[in-house]
Amino acid sequence: MATKASSPLTVGVIFFGNRQSEFFDQIWEGMMVYSRSLPPNVKLIRKVSDFSAQSQIDLIDELEKEDIRGLIIAPYNDPSVAKRLKELRKRRIEVVCVNSDISGSDRLCYVGPNPYQSGVIAAEILMILARGKGEIGIITGSHDITGHEERVRGFVDTIKRSRCNMTVESIQECKDDDYKCYEMVQKVMRDHPLISSFFFATSGGIFGGCKGLHQMTTRKTFNVVTFDLTSPIREFMKKDVISASVYQEPVTQGIRSLMVLTNKLLENKSPEKDVIYTDLSIKTKGCI
């Protein structure tokens, strides 16, 4: 990596969801680790959008006023966001997608897990835990986040292909919000009282969701699979509410996304592939 300082080089970073998201904090931590190897003129500006296309577009507009040379974004999957990102590339502002991808954006690269395979792994774990039988409830973050939707698709496809005696009875959207997730869990159990397994396709809102389940464990035991290894997930693993979690290397996502972008900006070096998948692993109570 070049180390010679020159004119200021500003990189924008946009995450989505809760401003207190521990998962995106871990991706940011990876960026901070890698930034120590960069020239001192490289500056990162972090923004957080809500779950709407207009929110992300507004933040992109703000960052353009900061004269960014590159953007790392966890994109909201909407044609208007893709169009706006494509406009950035036309202005020679490089774009890297992290954790979730978006088609039609002309982005330089996607860095993150294979979301479909993530869902496949989650389904395989849950089938083992539930011994291949029972009803399942799914809580996802947003239907407009490609990563979330692909996880759900991979999960549902795997359950169907397995021909096991398991059925998905409900798919709810919590917008990564703890209160909404708590309400969703309560609603799912009211509507489908025979559900014995839950798949959380997002770690956002997991505290509220698991709190709702924990309140019911005095009369029922659940098999629960989720994503990541944030503080609430560790807490509810210790309480035996969460059985297992699919870990997607958030720090590595941060390191690699900034590496790809700055290699392009500082050395005009493009990645060999436009998709860089991070490793997936399984975490259980014994790992914490």
pLDDT in tens, 44-64: 999 999 889 999 999 999 999
Identify the residue with better confidence: 3 or 236. Answer: 236
Instruction: Work out the average pLDDT over 147-169.
Output: 95
Identify the residue with better confidence: 143 or 220. Answer: 143
What would the DSSP string read from start to end of 197-257?
EEEES-STTHHHHHHHHHTTTTT---EEEEES--HHHHHHHHTT---EEEE--HHHHHHHH
pLDDT above 90: percentage of residues in the chain: 86
**Distance, CA of 109 to CA of 115 (rounded, Å):** 15
Q: How many other β-carbons are positioned within 10 Å of the β-carbon of residue 168?
A: 18
**pLDDT at position 1 over 60:** no
Instruction: Work out the average pLDDT over 186-205.
Output: 93
The pLDDT value recorded for residue 49 is 93
Sign for the CA dihedral angle at 50, 175, 119, 252 comes to positive
**Distance, CA of 89 to CA of 240 (rounded, Å):** 47
**pLDDT at position 216 over 90:** no
pLDDT in tens, 59-114: 999 999 999 999 999 999 999 999 999 999 999 999 999 999 999 999 999 999 99
Whether 283 contacts 245, CB under 8 Å: yes
**Residues constituting the chain:** 288
Whether 119 contacts 155, CB under 8 Å: yes
Label the pairing between strands 133-140 and 195-200: parallel
In the chain, what are the domains? 9-113+249-279 (3.40.50.2300), 115-247 (3.40.50.2300)
**pLDDT at position 276 over 60:** yes
Residue type, 136: I
Instruction: Work out the average pLDDT over 229-233.
Output: 93
Whether 258 contacts 35, CB under 8 Å: yes
The pLDDT value recorded for residue 220 is 76
**Distance, CA of 202 to CA of 49 (rounded, Å):** 17
Q: Which residues pair with 48 in a beta bridge?
A: 15
pLDDT in tens, 177-191: 999 999 999 999 999
Whether 73 contacts 45, CB under 8 Å: no
Produce one character per residue of 186-209: b if its CB has 16 or more CB atoms within 10 Å, e if not: bebbeeeeebbbbbbbbbbbbbbb
